[in-house]
């Protein structure tokens, strides 16, 4: 009894002074970064690059360690992050937009945009439409033309349900009025790309970075980009808008880091100030460029705005499709 | 023979030091419970940022080869398979170690790994263009039949009873469906929060193999006589070489199955070891000695899982398609140095890619050397008193299961599965079919669903799954495999009945 | 003819061992029934297509196994004796207490050190009275946990749960 009294007194005293001290000393041990996809996937790969200088004194001064919690298009990892991760600043998570917002709208998960506090954004990877190198279709118009004449016959592979690829496919179907069969694969973008190259499906939606590489290797043709502007990596490929289909950038895969709701505001502030600088590090930029991964650095305020905007457009899109 | 001219690159001082470091590091990481080859290679990626492309790849190549073999060390000594590839190794290898023949088990495991591995890398060197086409042949319908073929092996794998073997397999298939359904995101059989992420294979492996063994050691109780019971026999190295080289049948079954299964994207290394083990057992004159410490079981399993390393890189290097999670991590290692795999990789960056392949070749040999060197000491683990061993395996199992995803839920799943497996084993159910079901379930289901979706957009499921020569060939194999298991189990039952009457 | 395998089963009374094998058969049958029932009642049906297939096969196999056990035909495996139960139960309870409670509330390292020491000491055949063997137990525990700490925390940077202690 006595012990408990003393303990609670100590705790109370600690909690009064804790916040500023915690923020000043934070971080004093390695910080984990949870990635909702498997090792070797695009998100994992980029997360490993952008966190490689975290140990430098001018950034966190402590290394960041990647933990992979793959499963069900990211639901497993984000569920864990929303419901079980400690909000002490030592557990951070990687987010993928529009994936987790679309999944929270569709339901059956323990998170929504309200469950997380963004820190900063590091990259943006638009979705593209690809066909195999020996496919008869050379432009997006030809593919859509075939799909319009043969409703439901065009098979379109993508990384899963309610991820960026699926959103892009839904938008394409809506804009063209052509019915297509979206085939979600297990095993992410790489498996979806394999299905296109091997001819298991007629076409596919995939990440720009992966498609760019596959085209360099002579395996695919890229027909269109689902973004507002053409990509620097693919200046010759038109956007879907240019081709006359009303598809915006809702499916662009934004990647960044976040912490669980309830994390000390002082820690969030500290992270929001240092993490974008860490992403801007010259070595990080060089490695990302070499790997063909487009960077797009955004601060916490910009990300908050982007999340809110995505939430709104996805609500409309998914409500219209259900 | 182009690869010969780049051998010099491997023996440059820095490169060779990296090769040695990668091999030793890989062996240690591979032997650490809970750390799969994929995670081990992913952990090394940041180290390659500082290195030149060739050197970075040497480090990764050496680590990949040796982690796969390192997994055999914990499988043999602790009965904790480092990765799905080492499950079959644990069956006979651990039995040997318990009998004091740990050094022999480790020797033959490293030797057959080395032999299988070198042959696999040679396939990669000489047959890459041919093999690339083979890798793409397998669409969803074929992968589905491949998985079913694997399932049919279940009844005969390490089991005394046909029904109980199949039932164990079904339990595994069911466990694999727990959690979020991977394609549609529906929640299935989530009885407890720890299960939302599903049953991860590495976690399950640790629980299913390590925990029953811990309990088994406790069942001995506080008896004095068990301390000195095990004499660790010294194993002359030459004798191990002789044994390995004379096991032509097991080696060739392992190498052939390992290389060809390793090629198929998405199925790959996980089941190569188990399938090779099962085939060797079927073709053996005394199949009942498997699981009791038969060296042939270790040789087949280990030659298969290292033979798969070379071919599993074929789809990656030629088509930029990573055929396995580890290959995907290696892809990352190539990308950060601005090297894009694809058909012209061998023309554009010959020095990088050939040095990488050569380093795997030399890495295999170094791995055998280091492996053999530590085998004698490592085998002494069998002499550790049971009370220490049980406590040590338990703590390692808990740390290993936790470190996979840094999740307490995984530790709960690991322990519950382990305790359940102990009791199941006592009543004739077995671990190997259960694990095979756990691995194959997701492959079978995902390809079945995907195949059906594609089929519905085309000419219907019947044509998609049942027509075409490759489909028919696989279906015939499935039927033959079922018939074989059934006939053998009948025969065994008859023999057992005859023995019982006497 | 083959006397090596038979003595154990012939020693026990036939009915008792038949019952011993019937219990697990019933448990498995129960599990299979629950899985099948869940598979056929849960929605969405498309996500439960494969579970339905598997659970049906599992139910049939469990029935087959049950009838074999009832007919006394399924005596594979060694079964469990009372002595074995008495020996393993304290160990299993200790491990369960460690994994489900101590690891989270006391902290991973304190709990692991504790369970290693207790499990080792409890099952160590050496005397529980001699101080020398206690010293040995403490030393072994500290050395082993040091190796675990070096491997998982220093080398792999695994962040273990911290309870009220480390």
- B441-487, pLDDT tens digit by residue? 888 888 898 898 899 888 888 888 888 889 999 999 889 888 887 77
| Averaged pLDDT, A209-215 | 86
Chain A residues 258-317 within an 8 A CB cutoff of chain B: 283, 287, 290-292
Asked whether residue C89 falls in the same domain as residue C30, the answer is no
Cβ within 8 Å, pair C159-A30: yes
Cβ within 8 Å, pair C152-B403: yes
C-alpha C145/C-alpha C151 separation (Å) is 10
Q: Which of A225, A242, A264 is the last residue of a domain?
A: A225
Structural domain includes residue B141: yes
Cβ within 8 Å, pair A193-B321: yes
Q: Could you tell me the residue range of the domain that residue C104 belongs to?
A: 82-155
Asked whether residue A7 falls in the same domain as residue A74, the answer is yes
Q: What is the CATH number of the domain that holds A152?
A: 3.40.190.10
C-alpha A55/C-alpha C115 separation (Å) is 34
Cβ within 8 Å, pair C159-A90: yes
Lowest mean pLDDT: which of B332-341, C37-46, C94-103, C109-118? B332-341
Question: Which residue is it, tokens 């032999």?
Answer: B115
Q: Tell me chain C's radius of gyration from C-alpha atoms.
A: 24
Report the predicted TM-score, pTM, of the whole model to 2 decimal places: 0.87
Asked whether residue C50 falls in the same domain as residue C104, the answer is no
Query: In chain A, pLDDT over 90 holds for what percent of residues?
Result: 53
Question: Binning pLDDT at 50, 70 and 90, where does residue C111 land?
Answer: very high
Could you report the per-residue pLDDT of A102-150, keeping only the tens digit for each? 999 988 888 999 999 999 999 999 999 999 999 999 999 999 999 999 9
Structural domain includes residue C141: yes
| Averaged pLDDT, B255-266 | 84
Nearest by CB to B174, from C35, C75, C104: name it: C35
The verdict on C46 touching A (C-beta cutoff 8 Å) is no
Query: How close does chain B come to C109, measured CA to CA in Å?
Result: 10
Domains in chain C, number? 2
Domains in chain B, number? 1
**Chain A neighbors of C157, CB-CB under 8 A:** 30, 63, 65
Q: Can the peptide bond before residue A98 be classed as cis, meaning omega within 30 degrees of 0?
A: yes
Of C98 and B52, more confident: C98
pLDDT above 70 (res A226): yes
| Averaged pLDDT, B299-312 | 90
Query: In chain B, pLDDT over 70 holds for what percent of residues?
Result: 94
C-alpha B342/C-alpha A266 separation (Å) is 48
Mean pLDDT of chain A: 87
Considering all CA atoms of chain C, what is the largest pairwise distance in Å, rounded to the nearest integer? 65
**Chain A neighbors of C159, CB-CB under 8 A:** 29-30, 32, 65, 90-91
Query: How close does chain B come to A131, measured CA to CA in Å?
Result: 15
pLDDT above 80 (res C129): yes
Q: Can the peptide bond before residue B239 be classed as cis, meaning omega within 30 degrees of 0?
A: no
Residue of A nearest to B322 (CA): A190
Chain A residues 18-47 within an 8 A CB cutoff of chain B: 32, 38-41, 44-45
Structural domain includes residue C98: yes
Asked whether residue C91 falls in the same domain as residue C140, the answer is yes
Asked whether residue A118 falls in the same domain as residue A133, the answer is no
Length of chain B (residues):
502
Structural domain includes residue B500: no
CB atoms within 10 A of CB B280: 28
| Averaged pLDDT, C111-116 | 94
Structural domain includes residue C150: yes
Which tokens belong to C89?
A: 């139960």
pLDDT above 80 (res B366): yes
C-alpha B10/C-alpha B19 separation (Å) is 8
ipTM of the complex: 0.88
Asked whether residue C86 falls in the same domain as residue C118, the answer is yes
Q: Can the peptide bond before residue B495 be classed as cis, meaning omega within 30 degrees of 0?
A: no
The verdict on B38 touching A (C-beta cutoff 8 Å) is yes
Asked whether residue A64 falls in the same domain as residue A213, the answer is no
Of B141 and B337, more confident: B141
Would you state the pLDDT for residue A12?
A: 46
* Distance between start and end Cα atoms, chain B: 64
Which tokens belong to B101?
A: 């023949």
Would you state the pLDDT for residue B268?
A: 63
Residue of C nearest to B190 (CA): C38
Cβ within 8 Å, pair C157-A30: yes
Mean pLDDT of chain B: 84
Q: What is the CATH number of the domain that holds A91?
A: 3.40.190.150
Structural domain includes residue C75: no
The verdict on A133 touching B (C-beta cutoff 8 Å) is no
Of B359 and C13, more confident: B359
Residue of B nearest to A214 (CA): B320
Asked whether residue C94 falls in the same domain as residue C146, the answer is yes
Would you state the pLDDT for residue B52?
A: 81
The burial class, CB within 10 Å (0-12 / 13-18 / 19+), for B482 is middle
Would you state the pLDDT for residue C80?
A: 79
Cβ within 8 Å, pair B171-C100: no
Would you state the pLDDT for residue B395?
A: 93
Neighbours of A, requiring at least 3 CB pairs below 8 Å, are B, C
Asked whether residue C59 falls in the same domain as residue C93, the answer is no
| Averaged pLDDT, A281-289 | 88
CB atoms within 10 A of CB B287: 16
**Chain C neighbors of A30, CB-CB under 8 A:** 157, 159
Question: To which H or E segment does residue B313 belong?
Answer: none
**Chain C neighbors of B189, CB-CB under 8 A:** 35, 38, 51
C-alpha C67/C-alpha C64 separation (Å) is 5
**Chain C neighbors of B423, CB-CB under 8 A:** 24, 80
One-character DSSP codes across B49-81: TTS-HHHHHHHHHHHHHHHHHHHHHHHHHHS--
Chain A interface, Cβ < 8 Å to C: 29-30, 32, 63, 65, 90-91
Would you state the pLDDT for residue A168?
A: 94
Cβ within 8 Å, pair C49-B188: no
Would you state the pLDDT for residue C118?
A: 93
Structural domain includes residue A118: yes
Would you state the pLDDT for residue A21?
A: 54
Q: Kindly report the CA angle at C136 between C131 and C141, in degrees rounded to 5?
A: 125
C-alpha B91/C-alpha B340 separation (Å) is 40
Asked whether residue A103 falls in the same domain as residue A141, the answer is no
Cα of B252 vs its chain's centroid, Å: 17
Asked whether residue A212 falls in the same domain as residue A258, the answer is no
The verdict on B492 touching C (C-beta cutoff 8 Å) is no
C-alpha C104/C-alpha C163 separation (Å) is 6
Residue of B nearest to A290 (CA): B338
Would you state the pLDDT for residue C75?
A: 64
Query: How close does chain A come to B77, measured CA to CA in Å?
Result: 28
Structural domain includes residue A304: yes
DSSP character for C166? Answer: -
Asked whether residue A111 falls in the same domain as residue A61, the answer is yes
Judge contact between B357 and B13, C-beta under 8 A.
no
Domains in chain A, number? 2
Chain C residues 52-81 within an 8 A CB cutoff of chain A: none
Chain A to chain C Cβ contacts (< 8 Å): 10
Structural domain includes residue A233: no
Length of chain A (residues):
322
Asked whether residue C35 falls in the same domain as residue C97, the answer is no
C-alpha B287/C-alpha A232 separation (Å) is 62
Could you report the per-residue pLDDT of A29-74, keeping only the tens digit for each? 889 999 998 887 889 889 988 998 888 888 999 889 888 888 888 8
| Torsion angle of the four alpha carbons A91, A92, A96, A99, in this order, in degrees rounded to the nearest 10 | 40
Nearest by CB to C51, from B171, B177, B500: name it: B177
| Averaged pLDDT, A230-245 | 91
pLDDT above 70 (res A9): no
Question: Binning pLDDT at 50, 70 and 90, where does residue A322 land?
Answer: low
Nearest by CB to B182, from A71, A195, A283: name it: A71
Query: How close does chain B come to A200, measured CA to CA in Å?
Result: 6
Residue of C nearest to A86 (CA): C161
Chain C residues 118-157 within an 8 A CB cutoff of chain A: 157
Could you report the per-residue pLDDT of A256-265, keeping only the tens digit for each? 999 999 999 9
Structural domain includes residue B351: yes
C-alpha B55/C-alpha B37 separation (Å) is 19
pLDDT above 50 (res B181): yes
Asked whether residue A79 falls in the same domain as residue A131, the answer is no
Asked whether residue C11 falls in the same domain as residue C58, the answer is yes
Question: Which residue is it, tokens 């004798």?
Answer: B239
Structural domain includes residue C48: yes
Judge contact between B158 and B424, C-beta under 8 A.
no
Structural domain includes residue A237: no
Q: Could you tell me the residue range of the domain that residue A159 belongs to?
A: 127-225
């Amino acid at each position: 009894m006595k012990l408990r009294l003393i303990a609670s007194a100590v705790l109370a005293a600690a909690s009064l002074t804790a916040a500023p001290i915690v923020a000043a000393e934070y971080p004093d041990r390695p910080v984990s970064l949870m990635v909702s996809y498997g090792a070797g996937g695009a998100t994992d790969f980029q997360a490993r690059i952008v966190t490689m200088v975290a140990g430098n004194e001018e950034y966190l001064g402590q290394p960041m360690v990647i933990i992979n919690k793959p499963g069900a298009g990211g639901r497993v990892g984000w569920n864990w992050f929303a419901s079980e991760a400690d909000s002490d600043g030592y557990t951070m998570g990687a987010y993928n937009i529009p994936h987790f917002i679309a999944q929270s709208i569709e339901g059956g998960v323990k998170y929504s945009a309200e469950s997380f506090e963004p820190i900063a954004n590091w990259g943006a990877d638009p979705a593209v439409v690809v066909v195999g190198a020996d496919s008869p279709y050379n432009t997006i118009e030809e593919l859509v033309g075939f799909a319009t004449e043969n409703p439901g016959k065009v098979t379109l592979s993508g990384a899963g349900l309610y991820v960026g690829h699926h959103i892009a496919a839904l938008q394409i179907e809506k804009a063209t009025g052509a019915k297509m069969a979206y085939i979600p694969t297990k095993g992410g973008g790489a498996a979806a790309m394999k299905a296109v190259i091997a001819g298991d499906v007629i076409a596919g939606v995939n990440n720009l970075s992966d498609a760019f590489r596959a085209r360099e290797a002579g395996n695919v043709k890229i027909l269109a980009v689902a973004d507002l502007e053409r990509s620097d990596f693919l200046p010759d490929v038109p956007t879907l808008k240019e081709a006359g289909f009303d598809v915006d950038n809702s499916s662009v895969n934004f990647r960044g880091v976040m912490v669980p709701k309830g994390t000390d505001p002082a820690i969030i502030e500290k992270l929001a100030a240092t993490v974008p600088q860490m992403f801007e590090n010259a070595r990080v930029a060089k490695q990302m460029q070499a790997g063909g991964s487009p960077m797009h650095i955004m601060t916490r305020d910009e990300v908050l705005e982007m999340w809110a905007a995505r939430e709104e457009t996805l609500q409309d899109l998914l409500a219209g499709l259900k | 023979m182009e690869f010969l001219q780049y051998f010099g690159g491997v023996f440059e001082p820095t490169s060779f030091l990296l090769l040695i470091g990668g091999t030793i590091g890989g062996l240690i990481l591979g032997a650490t419970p809970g750390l799969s080859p994929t995670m081990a290679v992913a952990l090394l990626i940041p180290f390659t940022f500082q290195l030149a492309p060739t050197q970075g790849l040497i480090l990764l190549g050496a680590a990949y080869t040796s982690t796969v073999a390192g997994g055999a060390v914990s499988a043999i000594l602790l009965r904790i398979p480092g990765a799905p590839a080492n499950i079959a190794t644990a069956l006979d290898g651990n039995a040997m170690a318990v009998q004091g023949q740990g050094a022999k088990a480790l020797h033959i495991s490293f030797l057959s790994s080395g032999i299988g591995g070198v042959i696999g890398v040679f396939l990669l060197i000489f047959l890459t263009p041919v093999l690339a086409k083979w890798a793409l042949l397998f669409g969803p319908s074929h992968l589905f039949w491949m998985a079913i073929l694997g399932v049919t092996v279940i009844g005969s794998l390490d089991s005394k009873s046909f029904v109980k073997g199949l039932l164990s397999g079904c339990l595994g298939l069911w466990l694999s469906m727990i959690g979020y359904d991977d394609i549609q995101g529906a929640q299935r059989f989530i009885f407890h929060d720890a299960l939302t992420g599903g049953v991860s294979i590495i976690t399950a492996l640790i629980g299913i193999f390590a925990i029953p063994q811990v309990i088994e050691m406790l069942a001995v109780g506080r008896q004095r006589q068990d301390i000195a019971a095990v004499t660790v026999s010294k194993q002359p190295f030459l004798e191990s070489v002789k044994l390995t080289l004379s096991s032509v049948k097991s080696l060739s079954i392992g190498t052939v199955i390992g290389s060809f299964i390793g090629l198929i994207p998405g199925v790959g290394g996980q089941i190569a070891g188990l399938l090779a083990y099962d085939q060797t057992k079927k073709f053996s004159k005394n199949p009942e000695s498997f699981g009791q410490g038969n060296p042939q079981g270790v040789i087949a399993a280990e030659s298969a899982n290292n033979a798969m390393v070379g071919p599993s890189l074929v789809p990656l290097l030629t088509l930029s398609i990573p055929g396995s999670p580890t290959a995907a991590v290696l892809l990352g290692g190539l990308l950060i140095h601005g090297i894009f795999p694809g058909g012209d990789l061998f023309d554009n960056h010959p020095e990088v890619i050939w040095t990488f392949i050569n380093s795997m070749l030399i890495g295999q040999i170094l791995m055998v050397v280091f492996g053999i060197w530590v085998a004698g000491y490592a085998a002494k683990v069998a002499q550790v008193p049971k009370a220490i061993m049980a406590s040590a395996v338990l703590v390692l199992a808990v740390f290993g299961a936790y470190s996979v995803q840094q999740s307490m839920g995984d530790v709960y799943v690991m322990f519950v599965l382990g305790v359940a497996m102990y009791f199941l084993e006592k009543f004739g159910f077995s671990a190997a079919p259960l694990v095979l079901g756990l691995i194959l379930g997701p492959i079978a289901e995902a390809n079945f669903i995907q195949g059906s979706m594609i089929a519905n957009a085309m000419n219907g499921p019947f044509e998609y799954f049942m027509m075409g020569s490759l489909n028919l060939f696989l279906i015939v194999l499935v039927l033959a495999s079922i018939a074989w298991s059934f006939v053998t189990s009948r025969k065994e039952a008859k023999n057992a009945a005859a023995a019982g009457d006497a | 003819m083959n006397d090596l395998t038979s003595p154990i089963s012939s020693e026990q009374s036939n009915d008792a061992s038949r019952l011993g094998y019937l219990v697990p058969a019933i448990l498995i049958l129960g599990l299979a029934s629950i899985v099948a029932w869940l598979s056929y009642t849960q929605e969405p049906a498309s996500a439960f297509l494969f579970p339905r297939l598997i659970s049906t096969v599992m139910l049939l196999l469990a029935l087959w196994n049950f009838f074999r056990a009832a007919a006394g035909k399924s005596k594979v495996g060694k079964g469990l004796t009372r002595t074995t139960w008495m020996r393993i139960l304290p160990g299993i309870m200790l491990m369960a207490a460690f994994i489900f409670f101590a690891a989270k509330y006391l902290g991973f390292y304190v709990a692991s050190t504790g369970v290693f020491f207790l499990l080792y000491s409890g099952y160590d055949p050496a005397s529980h009275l001699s101080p020398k063997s206690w010293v040995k137990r403490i030393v072994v525990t500290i050395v082993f946990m040091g190796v675990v700490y070096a491997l998982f925390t220093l080398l792999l940077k695994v962040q273990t749960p911290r309870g009220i202690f480390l």
